[in-house]
Amino acid sequence: MTDSKYFTTTKKGEIFELKAELNSDKKEKKKEAVKKVIASMTVGKDVSALFPDVVNCMQTDNLELKKLVYLYLMNYAKSQPDMAIMAVNTFVKDCEDPNPLIRALAVRTMGCIRVDKITEYLCEPLRKCLKDEDPYVRKTAAVCVAKLHDINAQLVEDQGFLDTLKDLISDSNPMVVANAVAALSEIAESHPSSNLLDLNPQSINKLLTALNECTEWGQIFILDCLANYTPKDDREAQSICERVTPRLSHANSAVVLSAVKVLMKFMEMLSKDLDYYGTLLKKLAPPLVTLLSAEPELQYVALRNINLIVQKRPEILKHEMKVFFVKYNDPIYVKLEKLDIMIRLASQANIAQVLAELKEYATEVDVDFVRKAVRAIGRCAIKVEQSAERCVSTLLDLIQTKVNYVVQEAIVVIKDIFRKYPNKYESVIATLCENLDSLDEPEARAAMIWIVGEYAERIDNADELLESFLEGFHDESTQVQLQLLTAIVKLFLKKPTETQELVQQVLSLATQDSDNPDLRDRGYIYWRLLSTDPVAAKEVVLAEKPLISEETDLIEPTLLDELICYIGTLASVYHKPPSAFVEGGRGVVHKSLPPRTASNESTESPETAPAGAPTGEQPDVIPTQGDLLGDLLNLDLGPPVSGPPLTTSSVQMGAVDLLGGGLDSLMGDEPEGIGDTNFGAPPPAAPARVGAPIGSGLSDLFDLTSGVGTLSGSYVPPKAVWLPAMKAKGLEISGTFTRQVGSISMDLQLTNKALQVMTDFAIQFNRNSFGLAPAAPLQVHAPLSPNQTVEISLPLNTVGSVMKMDPLNNLQVAVKNNIDIFYFSTLYPLHILFVEDGKMDRQMFLATWKDIPNENEAQFQIRDCSLNAEAVSTKLQSSNIFTIAKRNVEGQDMLYQSLKLTNGIWVLAELRIQPGNPSFMLSLKCRAPEVSQHVYQAYETILKN
Amino acid sequence: MAKMIHSLFLINCSGDIFLEKHWKSVVSQSVCDYFFEAQEKAADVENVPPVISTPHHYLISIYRDKLFFVSVIQTEVPPLFVIEFLHRVADTFQDYFGECSEAAIKDNVVIVYELLEEMLDNGFPLATESNILKELIKPPTILRSVVNSITGSSNVGDTLPTGQLSNIPWRRAGVKYTNNEAYFDVVEEIDAIIDKSGSTVFAEIQGVIDACIKLSGMPDLSLSFMNPRLLDDVSFHPCIRFKRWESERVLSFIPPDGNFRLISYRVSSQNLVAIPVYVKHSISFKENSSCGRFDITIGPKQNMGKTIEGITVTVHMPKVVLNMNLTPTQGSYTFDPVTKVLMWDVGKITPQKLPSLKGLVNLQSGAPKPEENPSLNIQFKIQQLAISGKKCLAWV
């Protein structure tokens, strides 16, 4: 007698038959009928028509029947709200039942019936159950509060359930505590601002006590809740860590990973000199390894998290390389993740083993895996210099296999190796050229063309090779076309005599026969360069390329820190912050690692940089001007990025930069050359950009150079600390922005608060709203010794590439020294962008004011300013806000003013000053209203200083 | 972890959804289309990625006993939590019905539904311990169904499970046995990768101690080891008192009733693992010919006088292999020309006559000589031997 009989009712009149049975007098028959109904429900059949009949069976002493009816109710109440009311009485009665099991069951089921009308009736029983003498009922009721909150949040708050729930955190029963925590966490998620889980040392202590005694699932809730707490100092952090560590030995992997999250987060607060820090590091390795012996699905999630942990603290698993070796029967998704981690752990010490493994993998069956393995060999070469030679020879062996996709992957990675170690392995070019014909993937073709162009002088028949590609030029993908164009120009610059015809041909193919704007524009640029100044062309096209770094695939540090706070969650699987993908972004709070606050004021010594952190290398995470130029040449192949795409928008430089930043910077270098050169080709249209409309690149130039300006210069805010020493391994940076006689500069003060000498400074800006970029490299002439401070004025220009930032005047800066790279962001005052020729003609002003729609007008009040109209005018003029006209209307002074930003945006202002009233009214009109707020702030700062 | 698991779908290998359970509102079956899409993309059922994102939901799935357990979630949750829970569901089915199969689940669909309801409430796991579940919902037995149909009683317990709220939620109260007994199985698996030349690339021991405890009342047990320092990397059943282990290296616990896994541990390759068998192999393919030779012999290494038994060898042959013509000195072999898997069931090793398997390999004519080396997978059992050298000392 099995339940499968419930599936085999006669097809005809099934519902009718069931109805009759449900209304039968015999208990047994009734129960059987309900079972049949449930069975139909499990396979997705709609049996909602039986609602009243099933509900009639609810009044029963038979617990099984009651449970079955409850099951049915939960499924269908939503679709039959009026009928569901019929059940309320029974629920209320059951909540008073002497049997706690029934009380709990009733309150639990009521919460699952998501019908508004029912919730009113639920409140009283719920209140009783929350204070029930039986902990089983209390813990069920705690969850019910969360359910109710989801249906009607206001009701829960009005009824004071939240406070009752908070009281339950101090309950004597650990299971009740765990459920209360879970319910509060859930509610807090939808109210990120509310201070529901007000964690303090006392409540933390209660949670830690409950942690030892509650079920595994409760432990996960408590651990996740602990992870949101920020201990007040390192002692507290250590004591919490000590009490969490035993969870690492739990059989449930979710408990283990939640414990790892808490430890990884709180470790941030511990000084690395502590003995305990080392102990903790040692304790973290075994549980992570153990996760890899679990089921493949668990392994996958664990591996994605280990990938983050390895990036954050490589020292934890550095001796465990072997556990990441791929097993032949691992599912492919596990294999690919393991491979990724192997590369991250590769070091000089274990490179031989890694390479031997990778070589084996490259002969496997699965194509994706093989490709990734070949790429991995390339990454090893780039990461561990000592192994480069061996990697290259391994790759050559693989090329000899002539397996098509292996060859193609190998060529792509060899190109990267050439870039990393120029002039070292070029002897293999001949072998590569043999495989030219077998390449059919764009990436591989582009890589091969790059190699031919780059080493054109060493390849005798480079022109023939490139010419052979040219035949099918229009059938190639854009990537290959761009690469081919550049390669031929390179070839021409190297061997001008023999290749003139070829270069003419490719330039005409690119500019005349192509519909692709990127290709056309690049063609024009080369054409102009070559025709006006071949020497400059040579300097640009054959310029030294920035080295590629091994760590291009690293997750950006700030994102990594955020993801560490999300260990074990979906965010950690996707390597994206939850705000990037959780639907609606509801209740997503930005989490960050706690800052180190030592109780004993031990300052971190710079020697404690993580072992795996790159030192002395040049990881170009944020591209420089140099890169933009590089972009013109050959960098659109991209760095060897693998793994999921990162959210950093700065890593991949698209074709837009070629126009936006690249062209501007090209021309910015030699502005005088532009005015009198007529190319006869239309100037490239400014690419569509998000945010403020930007004037053409050419006019920017004139803004900069034609400025006469007043000598006094704009207001300079005092220097502020931008990068505290604590965050930057001892390097402190403070600074400010100035604008004087048409040039903007960033005045920096670098202080070395570490114990070691700092050298090799460099600075880069991320793309920003107004294209601010360093006009010269950061010049720190002598090494900076400990406790020394140096003042530098870094000239800036506004011809960098543009990306709208939020807030608009946000500037992200990366500073590098011999120790590490550091990132910070700062807000620049907008008035440094006000140009000297911002005085508008009167007529023009009137026309423009009328022309700008009224919805673009913004009004602000400037308070507490005691200057008179005259003084205001003078003061503003020194910061390039020009008064065009002044009127006196009904005793008020009206000043009409204009200013222009570096990117050509005009802002018109009307300033109303009432003598004797310290509050001024400012109305701003601008075609890009988003700048108004910042212009107003500039007024404020200028007038009040 | 709001509403951890929204819905659960059980899907068989032919892609039929044969059970669905919704803990909140009903989610249409069509959400599984994304899963089927991913399944199609993955060449092998085992390769379906465990986390799939769809426009409105995430699907987290496990593959167990030829069934997919696909859960639908809507908000940020710890995926491990979900995966662990799904495995626990599968374990419970296994425990209740003896097997976790489509037939068993369909035969007991009402119990399955009751169990799922009991295991999860609003996304919070309620009762996942088999001891407690069995008090709430009695497992089906032939006897009970007969009794129930006569007496009209049900298979749902009507009292609160005693363990549910005590500090030892894993044990039910009032257990009585006439014969008090406790059994422990120590199972150790060596997981090793050995390269062509026979040197060990990677080896580790995965061990578990499974217990079957039939003791009355609230027994408090402790178990100590001769050489506990081997156990550095251990996962414990929640019943074990961690403090005592930390300070004295003694396993002290009040056990659940019945079968359970006490600890699992890992001994890594640093403590040199001696592999008890070796394989001599010679697999060669002739250039420009459609056949090759295959010859493997298995022999025991130091095995402390114990016999090695239950040996099976699995070889994944290259794609170009059409068929194999082999003669085993003992046991029997099969070759599946579709999956290209050679299985040799060897049985026991007798040191006097080492088992071997020799013969010819037929390749596709005209195909190039295979590049990849076939990997050999050997499984065997040794009774009454713990490779790690762990010894159990005393009972208190």
The Cα–Cα gap between A374 and A364 comes to 11
Given A513, A543, A573, the domain boundary residue is A543
Q: Are residues A403 and A446 in the same domain?
A: no
Q: What is the pLDDT of residues A872-884, one digit of tens each?
A: 888 888 888 888 8
| pLDDT band with cut points at 50, 70 and 90 for residue A699 | very low
Q: What is the pLDDT of residues A356-385, one digit of tens each?
A: 889 888 887 788 889 999 999 988 888 888
**In the predicted model, is pLDDT for residue A805 greater than 50?**
yes
Q: B326 vs chain A: nearest CA distance in angstroms? A: 24
Q: Are residues A892 and A797 in the same domain?
A: no
Q: Cβ separation of A3 and B149 shorter than 8 Å?
A: no
Q: Cβ separation of A293 and B206 shorter than 8 Å?
A: yes
pLDDT, position A685? 40
Q: Are residues A409 and A456 in the same domain?
A: no
Q: Are residues A90 and A201 in the same domain?
A: yes
Residues 6+ apart with CB under 8 A from A431: A396, A399
Closest of A85, A25, A36, A84 to residue A60, by C-alpha: A25
Q: Cβ separation of A328 and B375 shorter than 8 Å?
A: yes
- Is the link from the previous residue into A614 a cis peptide, with omega within 30 of 0? no
- Give the range among A566-575, B22-31, B284-293 with minimum mean pLDDT: B284-293
- The structure tokens listed for B21 are 């359970």
Percent of chain B with pLDDT over 90: 8
Q: Are residues A379 and A451 in the same domain?
A: no
Q: What is the pLDDT of residues A161-218, one digit of tens each?
A: 988 988 898 888 888 888 898 888 888 877 765 667 778 888 888 889 888 888 888 8
| pLDDT band with cut points at 50, 70 and 90 for residue A598 | low
Query: In which residue ranges of chain B is CATH 2.60.40.1170 found?
Result: 181-273, 277-382
Q: Which residue of B has its CA nearest to A249?
A: B235
Is the pLDDT higher at A634 or at B188?
A: B188
Structural domain contains residue A874? yes
Q: Cβ separation of A583 and B75 shorter than 8 Å?
A: yes
Provide the domain limits for residue A200: 3-230
| pLDDT band with cut points at 50, 70 and 90 for residue B288 | low
Q: Which residue of A has its CA nearest to B158?
A: A63
Given A543, A564, A587, the domain boundary residue is A543
Q: What is the pLDDT of residues B232-273, one digit of tens each?
A: 778 888 888 888 888 888 888 888 888 888 888 887 755 556
Q: Cβ separation of A62 and B160 shorter than 8 Å?
A: no
Q: What is the pLDDT of residues B89-121, one digit of tens each?
A: 999 999 888 888 999 898 888 889 888 988 888
Q: Is A401 an 8 Å CB contact of chain B?
A: yes
**In the predicted model, is pLDDT for residue B41 greater than 50?**
yes
**Residue A581 with chain B: CB contacts under 8 Å:** 53
- Give the range among A297-301, B68-72, B257-261 with minimum mean pLDDT: B257-261
Residues 6+ apart with CB under 8 A from B95: B130, B139
Q: Are residues A77 and A195 in the same domain?
A: yes
Q: Cβ separation of A215 and B371 shorter than 8 Å?
A: no
**In the predicted model, is pLDDT for residue A257 greater than 90?**
yes
Q: Which residue of A has its CA nearest to B202?
A: A322
Q: A375 vs A382, A640, A653, CA distance in Å? A: 11, 8, 21
- Give the range among A655-659, B302-306, B385-389 with minimum mean pLDDT: A655-659
Average pLDDT over residues B15-39: 87
Instruction: Report A:320-339 residues touching B (Cβ under 8 A).
Output: 322-323, 325, 327-329, 331-333
**In the predicted model, is pLDDT for residue A117 greater than 90?**
no
Evaluate whether A780 touches A817 at the Cβ level (below 8 Å): no
**Residue B187 with chain A: CB contacts under 8 Å:** none
**In the predicted model, is pLDDT for residue A136 greater than 80?**
yes
Q: Is A474 an 8 Å CB contact of chain B?
A: no
Q: Cβ separation of B83 and A3 shorter than 8 Å?
A: no
By Cβ distance, the residue of B78, B80, B109 closest to A6 is B109
Q: What is the pLDDT of residues A612-622, one digit of tens each?
A: 333 333 333 33
Question: Which CATH code fits B277-382?
Answer: 2.60.40.1170
**In the predicted model, is pLDDT for residue A305 greater than 90?**
yes
Average pLDDT over residues B209-232: 81
The Cα–Cα gap between A374 and B13 comes to 34
Query: In which residue ranges of chain B is CATH 3.30.450.60 found?
Result: 5-151
Q: Is A202 left (phi over 0), alpha (psi -120 to 50) or beta?
A: alpha
**In the predicted model, is pLDDT for residue A693 greater than 60?**
no
Evaluate whether A566 touches A578 at the Cβ level (below 8 Å): yes
**CATH number of the CATH domain containing A777:** 2.60.40.1150
The Cα–Cα gap between B262 and B237 comes to 5
Q: Are residues A805 and A842 in the same domain?
A: no
Write out the DSSP string of B18-42.
EEEEESSSPPPGGGHHHHHHHHHHS
**Residue A32 with chain B: CB contacts under 8 Å:** none
pLDDT, position A809? 86
- Give the range among A140-144, A240-244, A804-808, B358-362 with minimum mean pLDDT: A804-808
Q: Which of A178-182, B21-25, B170-174, B284-288 has the highest mean pLDDT?
A: A178-182
Q: Is A110 an 8 Å CB contact of chain B?
A: no
**Residue A331 with chain B: CB contacts under 8 Å:** 44, 46-47
Q: What is the ipTM of this complex?
A: 0.79
**Residue A257 with chain B: CB contacts under 8 Å:** 78, 80
pLDDT, position A642? 39
The Cα–Cα gap between A698 and A675 comes to 9
Is the pLDDT higher at A664 or at A338?
A: A338
Q: What is the pLDDT of residues A742-763, one digit of tens each?
A: 788 888 888 888 778 888 888 8
Q: Is A31 an 8 Å CB contact of chain B?
A: yes
**Residue A64 with chain B: CB contacts under 8 Å:** 114, 154-156
Q: What is the pLDDT of residues A238-247, one digit of tens each?
A: 999 999 998 9
pLDDT, position A894? 84
Q: Is B124 an 8 Å CB contact of chain A?
A: yes
- Give the range among A91-105, A152-166, A633-647, A769-783 with minimum mean pLDDT: A633-647
Given A418, A439, A460, the domain boundary residue is A439
pLDDT, position A552? 58
Amino acid identity for residue A558 in this structure: T
- Which 3-state string (H, E, C) describes A46-102? CCHHHHHHHHHCCCCCCHHHHHHHHHHHHHHHHHCHHHHHHHHHHHHHHCCCCCHHH
Structural domain contains residue A924? yes
Closest of A823, A748, A757, A855 to residue A793, by C-alpha: A748
Kindly report the CATH class assigned to B5-151. alpha beta
Average pLDDT over residues A286-296: 89
Structural domain contains residue A591? no
Q: What is the pLDDT of residues A441-468, one digit of tens each?
A: 888 999 999 988 888 888 888 888 888 8
Total number of domains constituting chain A: 5
The Cα–Cα gap between B69 and A876 comes to 69
| pLDDT band with cut points at 50, 70 and 90 for residue B141 | low
Q: Are residues A801 and A767 in the same domain?
A: yes
pLDDT, position A261? 93
Q: Cβ separation of A4 and B61 shorter than 8 Å?
A: no
pLDDT, position B269? 58
Q: What is the pLDDT of residues A553-593, one digit of tens each?
A: 677 888 888 888 888 888 888 888 877 665 544 444 567 77
Q: Are residues A761 and A733 in the same domain?
A: yes
Q: Are residues A167 and A217 in the same domain?
A: yes
Structural domain contains residue A47? yes
Q: B386 vs chain A: nearest CA distance in angstroms? A: 19
Q: A452 vs chain B: nearest CA distance in angstroms? A: 30
Q: A182 vs chain B: nearest CA distance in angstroms? A: 8
Structural domain contains residue A666? no
Q: What is the pLDDT of residues A881-919, one digit of tens each?
A: 888 888 877 778 888 899 888 888 888 888 888 877 888
Beta strands B277-285 and B291-300: pairing type? antiparallel
Is the pLDDT higher at B287 or at A158?
A: A158
**In the predicted model, is pLDDT for residue A633 greater than 80?**
no
Helices A63-76 & B109-119 angle (0-180, nearest 10):
80
Q: Are residues A537 and A388 in the same domain?
A: no
Q: Cβ separation of A325 and B193 shorter than 8 Å?
A: yes
**CATH number of the CATH domain containing A223:** 1.25.10.10
Structural domain contains residue A530? yes
Could you tell me the fold of the domain covering B181-273? Immunoglobulin-like (2.60.40)
Average pLDDT over residues A338-356: 89
User: What number of C-beta contacts closer than 8 Å exist between A and B?
Assistant: 257
Instruction: Report B:286-315 residues touching A (Cβ under 8 A).
Output: none
Structural domain contains residue A243? no
Q: Which residue of B has its CA nearest to A293?
A: B206
Percent of chain A with pLDDT over 90: 8
Q: Coil, strand or helix: which one is B284?
A: strand
**Residue B2 with chain A: CB contacts under 8 Å:** 146, 150, 186, 189-190
Instruction: Report B:52-91 residues touching A (Cβ under 8 A).
Output: 53, 56, 58, 60-63, 74-81, 83-85, 87
Selected for mutation to probe chain B from A40, A42, A185, A336 (highest B CB count within 10 Å) is A42
Instruction: Report A:138-177 residues touching B (Cβ under 8 A).
Output: 139-140, 143-144, 146-147, 150, 173-175
Instruction: Report A:78-107 residues touching B (Cβ under 8 A).
Output: 78, 99-101
**In the predicted model, is pLDDT for residue A838 greater than 80?**
yes
Q: Which residue of B has its CA nearest to A367?
A: B43
Q: What is the pLDDT of residues A408-435, one digit of tens each?
A: 999 999 988 888 888 788 888 888 888 8
Q: Are residues A434 and A462 in the same domain?
A: no
**Residues facing A802 on adjacent strands:** A768
Q: Which residue of A has its CA nearest to B137?
A: A64
Average pLDDT over residues B377-386: 76
Is the pLDDT higher at B147 or at A837?
A: A837
Q: What is the pLDDT of residues A84-108, one digit of tens each?
A: 777 888 888 888 888 888 888 888 8
Q: What is the pLDDT of residues A42-77, one digit of tens each?
A: 777 788 888 888 888 877 777 888 888 888 888 787
Is the pLDDT higher at B19 or at A80?
A: B19
Q: Which residue of B has its CA nearest to A183?
A: B2
